[in-house]
A and B are shown apart, each in its own frame.
Chain A
Amino acid sequence: MITRGFRNKRQRPDPSRVPPGQYVTSDFPVLSAGPTPRTSLDDWSFALRDVDGDGELATWGWKEFLALPSTPIAVDIHCVTSWSKLDTRWRGVTIDALLEAAGLDPPAPYVTAFCDGGYTTNLAVEDLLDGRGMVAYEFDGAPIEPEHGGPARLLVPHLYFWKSAKWVRGLQFMEEDEPGFWETHGYHLRGDPWKEERYAGD
């Protein structure tokens, strides 16, 4: 449906880099459902939890985590609220490297990422492997600021950014794909920006 009087006054974004319905911003908007949690690095840990919920398959404290092999990446990110930010630079530990350090094969096909502040989001393990997911702790060469998810956030740039859980503290393996926080509030279970999987049913 054409909107009377609406004209495109901007450069059309590059469709090979910017998914449908997105606009490019140079800002870095912040979206969170509650206050920014602040956890002392002395109390911070990252855990891989088995499907039963209490068995920890592996745990790293902050210093141990920083000692894991890290990878820099430069990627475009896409928020479901329709902004995209191009060429963002991050450093972190890929999920592949985490599993390797733990000497693990993924014990189940899904995970729930759990976080300080109680936020959760669900992901398929295959969306995290082969370098497609990491736990990032640097943005643009500096520690990630708390409002952007520091000290560490999940980074899964090929999915809408709510999947890149801020203040992440671990991954709980799941036999079934169970909705996390936004997914129970009407958002899509997977969130592929190229398919515009914004809301449940898209």
Chain B
Amino acid sequence: MPTAPIAWRSAEVREIVVETPRAKTIRLEVPGWPGHLPGQHVDVRLTAEDGYQAQRSYSISSPPEEDGIALTVERLDDGEVSTFLTDELRAGDRLELRGPLGGYFTWTAARRGPLALVAGGSGIVPLMAMIRHRAARGSHVPTHVLCSWRTADDVIYRDELARLAAQADGLEVTHTLTRRAPVDWRGLTRRIDREMLSERLPGPDARPLSYVCGPTAMVESVATLLVSLGHAPDRIRTERFGPTGGAR
């Protein structure tokens, strides 16, 4: 059965929100947007005047319940697309994008839970779409969010996560800082390890759905630890992106 290609759409930048020194959220109006599932991404394509094009995938951070879509982009020092999006782009500009893409790393309230969401840095972005969707739908599915950041300055959506966790509707959020912590930091200060996963996330008996997103080494380590703790591999979904470091 022939399928129509997913169209490139012209999206207009409505607003740019500074999240952290390295991350910005781009709110876009996308005429004809067909809707998306929390966890999906888009391909963004940039075209220079000389015809040169570059395209990259970015996760959608907004829930389907909101108008338009939001992308949260972390600036990579050697990134040709992320540096443009975080340094140059401003409200009123137009971007080409297509999507929504990726139908696997997704969760909707209809799937229930419990949920274990584990993020390394900007890996929180697709998970945030799930967290926002859960709140928008008034879902009380037990949801444990574990986020690893280098420093307190890197924490994206900090206030919103705190506000959602304060609603006492089954959402728990844990942050850990791996490099440097402010003196008044009361949270964890180490990389995600076995003990943290077993203390902060539902155990295998609860049969949680786990979504792990972040840099390769972190995702590799967390997914392997979850399996070793007894979680069923087919209930662990992973998405790896960002700088790949020395992985090869």
A84 to chain B, nearest CB (A): 13
Q: How many angstroms from the CA of A8 to the CA of B3 in the assembled complex?
A: 33
- A21 in contact with B6 given A2-B47, A28-B248, A32-B238 (CB within 8 Å): no
6 sampled A-B residue pairs with Cβ under 8 A: A2-B48, A3-B94, A5-B93, A6-B84, A36-B223, A145-B248
Q: B240 touching A201 by the CB < 8 A rule?
A: no
Q: Does B95 contact A (CB under 8 A)?
A: yes
Q: B47 touching A82 by the CB < 8 A rule?
A: no
Q: Hey, what's the 0/1 contact readout for A164-202 against B, CB within 8 Å counting as 1? A: 000000000000000001100110000000000011111
Complex interface: stretch among B53-61, B139-147, B191-199: B53-61
Q: How many angstroms from the CA of A40 to the CA of B240 in the assembled complex?
A: 25
Closest 5 CB pairs of A and B: A8-B52, A201-B3, A35-B223, A28-B248, A201-B5
Q: Does B10 contact A (CB under 8 A)?
A: yes
Complex interface: stretch among B102-110, B148-156, B160-168, B173-181: B102-110
Chain B positions within 8 Å of A, measured between CB atoms, are 2-6, 10, 43, 45-50, 52-57, 80, 84, 88-89, 93-96, 101-105, 216, 219-220, 223-224, 226-227, 233-234, 236-238, 240-241, 243-244, 247-248
Nearest residue, chain B, Cβ from A139: B248
Residues in B neighbouring A23, C-beta threshold 8 A: 54, 80
Q: B227 touching A35 by the CB < 8 A rule?
A: yes
Q: B53 touching A30 by the CB < 8 A rule?
A: no
Q: How many angstroms from the CA of A28 to the CA of B10 in the assembled complex?
A: 32
Residues in B neighbouring A29, C-beta threshold 8 A: 216, 240-241, 244, 247
Q: Hey, what's the 0/1 contact readout for A69-90 against B, CB within 8 Å counting as 1? A: 0000000000001100000000
Chain A positions within 8 Å of B, measured between CB atoms, are 1-10, 12, 20-21, 23, 27-37, 81-82, 117-118, 140, 145, 147-148, 181-182, 185-186, 198-202
- A21 in contact with B55 given A32-B238, A35-B233 (CB within 8 Å): yes
Q: A34 touching B80 by the CB < 8 A rule?
A: no
- A147 in contact with B234 given A3-B94, A201-B3 (CB within 8 Å): no
Nearest residue, chain A, Cβ from B5: A201
**Residue in A2, A28, A32 whose beta carbon sits within 8 Å of that of B244 in the complex:** A28
Q: B238 touching A199 by the CB < 8 A rule?
A: no
Nearest residue, chain B, Cβ from A33: B104
- A35 in contact with B238 given A7-B48, A201-B3, A202-B5 (CB within 8 Å): yes
B13 to chain A, nearest CB (A): 10
Q: How many angstroms from the CA of A148 to the CA of B216 in the assembled complex?
A: 11
- A33 in contact with B237 given A6-B46, A23-B54 (CB within 8 Å): yes
Q: A200 touching B247 by the CB < 8 A rule?
A: no
Task: For the A-B complex with A5-B84, A8-B52, A9-B80 known, give 17 more contacts whose Cβ atoms are closer than 8 Å.
Answer: A3-B96, A6-B46, A10-B80, A28-B244, A28-B248, A29-B244, A31-B240, A33-B104, A33-B238, A34-B233, A35-B233, A147-B216, A147-B220, A186-B103, A199-B5, A200-B3, A201-B4
- A8 in contact with B48 given A21-B55, A34-B234 (CB within 8 Å): yes
Nearest residue, chain B, Cβ from A12: B52
Nearest residue, chain B, Cβ from A184: B103
Nearest residue, chain B, Cβ from A182: B104
Q: How many angstroms from the CA of A198 to the CA of B8 in the assembled complex?
A: 13
Nearest residue, chain A, Cβ from B4: A201
Nearest residue, chain A, Cβ from B235: A34
**Residue in B53, B93, B236, B241 whose beta carbon sits within 8 Å of that of A21 in the complex:** B53
Q: How many angstroms from the CA of A40 to the CA of B42 in the assembled complex?
A: 38
